Homo-oligomer: A and B are copies of this chain.
Amino acid sequence: MRMTPQRAAVLQAVRARRWHPSAHEVYDVVRRQIPKISLATVYRNLEELVGAGKLKRLQGVGRERRYEGWLKPHYHVCCVECGLVEDVDLEMDHSVEKRIEGLTGYEIFDQSVELIGLCPHCRKTVEESHARKS
């Protein structure tokens, strides 16, 4: 796999911040640098970078496929209200993997953990609307 300018720009865009962009969001960012890059190129390179282990694909949060550049295993918190997905920098517990390998006969090499709830902002909004009703 050659590191073309397009591919490098895609990689860099996803790595930039603790961000979980969709293909189209990456496209919008990269286009500022390479205005005539094709959306298909973004899609292709995202998948190739995942294949090469340089990016990870998020296990379906929302409708679109999302990517991330932080490769260390970590938890995600997801807000059901606004759709925000954030990383949690907390050492992951891998003990359950061993138990499940024994239980199922699977060979486990990764874990995808999403904690579903309300972000601080939406939490406040929801509480206020409850207060108004009662």
Contacts and interface: CB of A to CB of B under 8 A. Distances in A.
Interface of A: 58-62, 75, 77, 79, 86, 88, 90, 93, 96-97, 99-101, 103-120, 123
A51 to B, nearest CB: 12
Chain copies in the assembled complex: 2
A107 B118 contact: yes
Contacts of A97: 115
Nearest to A87: B104
Contacts of A117: 101, 106-110
Given A107-B123, A118-B106, A75 B88 contact: no
Contacts of A118: 106-107
A115 B108 contact: yes
Contacts of A104: 77, 86, 88, 120
